[in-house]
Amino acid sequence: MELRKQENRYISPDVPDEWFVPKARNQTEAEAVIRPSLSYWKDSWLRLVKNKLAMAGLVFLAFLTLLAIFGPIISPHSVEKQSLTLQNLPPSSKYWFGTDDLGRDVFTRTCYGARISLFVGLMAALIDFVIGVVYGGFSGYKGGRIDNLMMRFVEILYGLPYLLVVILVMVVIGPGLTTIILALSITGWVGMARIVRGQVLQIKNYEFVLASKTFGTKTARIIRKNLLPNTMGPIIVQMTLTIPSAIFAEAFLSFIGLGIQAPHASWGVMANDGLSTILSGYWWRLFFPTLFISLTMFAFNVLGDGLQDALDPKLRR
């Protein structure tokens, strides 16, 4: 097809010149906002919603929370009621998850195990948040010799085997729910402290922080008002990854007999009891507690990955 040159463009002679005339626009259309302004958190939420795997994890965690709260209420069976005539019954319409060797309902005990696991995970994450944010924020803001000394202490704790420290504390103090939370918090906060320190070292040289220093703002207020709000993204991601680690540690300690003790219901205790009977054909006693442990850890991990992508400012459009 023959082309003709017009204003540094080669166009077909069959194309009318009116097609290349800019469309007239009035003042109202010129000032119209094409895309509404979104805040950082709203934009992060919209990007998180688009992540189907992360939303599936969030939905499961919401379901697990409701199950832990209302599961024992809707169940017609008591968590401690024993009956040797009902021992090792398979799952049915009356006993949804079957019964154990003492005739206790496995579904009700699984719900109580969810309470313990979520409580341990949330408390461990909360303690790690408080200690890690305060320690890491102060170290990163001060810098210099103070930062070096504080980070050397963190590196010493970070080099200690995590589970070994937890097991030693459990052996010395004794098993129990409070002891588990204490043991998990001794070295669990070092990861949070290192993340917060790195973020504060980067942000403390920004103009708005330097302006606050110029006006004589106190260190505590600068950290609370200027630094922490700008580091909440990595902090939230770290917390979502701390919770499944604490849940798995509690289940592992209960499984080896150093955590929650019978007759209290815990996923680790139930898995330990069910392991010895799996060769007898009572598969449901091991299947359901291990299933909930696996799904809970998977849900927290995919949610953490989704939050990491959603809260990353570099991915914001």
> How many angstroms separate the CA atoms of 293 and 110, rounded?
10
Helix (H, G, I), strand (E, B) or coil at 105: strand
Fold annotation for 56-78+108-315: MetI-like fold (1.10.3720)
Residue with tokens 């939303």: 55
pTM exceeds 0.85 for this model: no
> How many angstroms separate the CA atoms of 82 and 170, rounded?
29
> How many angstroms separate the CA atoms of 106 and 209, rounded?
55
Q: What is the 3-state secondary structure (H, E, C) of 240-306?
A: HHHHHHHHHHHHHHHHCCCCCCCCCCCHHHHHHHHHCCHHHCCCHHHHHHHHHHHHHHHHHHHHHHH
Of 86, 88, 126, 91, nearest in space to 291 by CA: 91
Residue 1: per-residue pLDDT:
47
Contact 134, 224 (CB under 8 A): no
Residue 43: per-residue pLDDT:
78
Q: What is the pLDDT along the chain (317 residues), one digit of tens a residue?
A: 444 445 555 555 666 666 666 666 666 655 555 556 666 678 778 888 888 999 999 999 999 999 998 888 888 887 777 777 888 888 888 888 888 888 888 898 999 889 988 898 899 889 988 998 889 888 888 888 888 999 899 888 888 887 788 788 878 887 778 888 888 888 888 888 998 888 888 888 888 888 887 888 787 788 777 777 778 888 888 888 888 888 888 888 888 877 777 777 888 888 888 887 777 888 888 899 999 999 999 999 899 888 888 876 655 55
Residue 14: per-residue pLDDT:
63
Residue spans of the domains in the chain: they are 56-78+108-315
DSSP single-letter state for residue 19: G
- pLDDT tens, 139-171? 888 888 888 999 899 888 888 887 788 788 878
Q: What φ, ψ does residue 6 adopt, rounded to 5°?
A: -145, 115
Residue 291: per-residue pLDDT:
93
Residue 163: per-residue pLDDT:
76
Residue 3: per-residue pLDDT:
47
Q: Calculate helix-pair angle for 106-142, 190-203, nearest 10 degrees.
A: 40
> How many angstroms separate the CA atoms of 209 and 188, rounded?
29
Reading the block at residue 268, the tokens are 């680790």
Residue 62: per-residue pLDDT:
94
Residue 226: per-residue pLDDT:
77
Residue 66: per-residue pLDDT:
92
- pLDDT tens, 79-137? 777 777 888 888 888 888 888 888 888 898 999 889 988 898 899 889 988 998 889 88
Residue 63: per-residue pLDDT:
93
